[in-house]
Structure 1
Amino acid sequence: MPITNDTILNHAFLREMYSDSYYPDHVLDKGNGILLDLCTAIEEAPPASEAALYELTAVATERFNALEEDFHAAGSGIETIAREAICEDFFFVASAYGFPDADPEALVAERDW
C-alpha cells in the first residue's frame, strides 16, 4: 500500500544525517525505510489511541536497534545527532498522523541507543 499522507510524502527523513558524511547513505536508506514502513503500518491500520501508536513505534524502534550494527560495521553509530534526528522523525510521524500530543520518549521507549 503506497503512503497517501501528503505531509509524509513531502518530508525528507533523516535529512540532517544524510548531510553528514559520518553516516553512510546505504545505512540511512535502511533507516528511511523503517520510518516509511512505520507510516505504511499506520495507514494500513490507523491506531485508535496513543497506546496503539506506541505499539507500532516500538516495532520500528526495535528495527533501529538492530540497525545500529550496520552503523558500527560502516564505522559510524547512533550517537547524539543521530538520536535526535531519529527521535524528531518519530515525533514528526506521530504528529502527521494526528497524534501531536504523543510523548516523544514513549515513541522510542524501546531504544537502546
Structure 2
Amino acid sequence: MKKIDANFKYLVDMYEDSYYPTVLVDKLQLHIVEVVDFIEANKHTTEEIQEQLDKMTIAINELQDEFYANDSELETVARESIAETVDAILQHFEIDIEIEEAIRERDW
C-alpha cells in the first residue's frame, strides 16, 4: 500500500503566516492526517474516502470559533492552503475526487 512521504508538508501557507495560530493549524492538520491514515490503512472505495473527507471538513468547520477567538479565521489563504494540501494527497494516492467535491462540506 502506498504511503505519504514522511517529509510531506501540510498547510504550508498557513504555517508560514503568523495570522494563523500554530496550535490551531496543528489541530487542523490532525484532521487531514486522519484521512491520510484511513487511506493508507486499507483499500477503500471512492465513496468511503469521500465520507472521511466529509468528516474531516466538518471537523475543520468546527474549528472556526477557535480561530475567531484567536483573532484569525478560515478565509481565502486558509481555504487555498487546505485545498492544496488535500488535492496533493488525493493526487499522491491517485484518488479520482475533484477538490471541490472533496471539501464539499466546507462553510469557510
TM-score (normalizing by structure 2):
0.90
- Identity percentage of aligned residues: 31
Q: Count how many residue pairs are aligned between Structure 1 and Structure 2.
A: 107
Partner of residue 107, structure 1:
102
Contact 1:23–1:76 (Cα < 8 Å) also in 2: yes
Task: Write the distance in 2 (CA, Å) between the matches of 1:25 and 1:44.
Answer: 28
Quote how far apart the aligned CAs of 1:27 are.
Answer: 0.3
Counting only pairs closer than 5 Å after superposition, residues 31-70 of structure 1 correspond to structure 2 as 31-48=28-45, 50-70=46-66
Post-superposition Cα deviations, 1:63-99, rounded to whole Å, max 9, x if no partner, equal 1001111111111000001001101111111112221
Quote how far apart the aligned CAs of 1:46 are.
Answer: 2.8
Whose relative contact order is higher, 1 or 2, with alpha carbons under 8 Å and at least 6 apart? 2
Counting only pairs closer than 5 Å after superposition, residues 1-113 of structure 1 correspond to structure 2 as 5-7=3-5, 9-48=6-45, 50-99=46-95, 101-113=96-108
SS in 1 for 2:97: coil
Task: Write the distance in 1 (CA, Å) between the matches of 2:38 and 2:54.
Answer: 12
Contact 1:42–1:56 (Cα < 8 Å) also in 2: no
Question: Where in structure 1 are there 5+ consecutive unaligned residues?
Answer: none
Question: Where in structure 2 are there 5+ consecutive unaligned residues?
Answer: none
SS in 1 for 2:26: helix
Detail structure 1 runs of 4+ shifted over 6 Å in the superposition. Answer: none
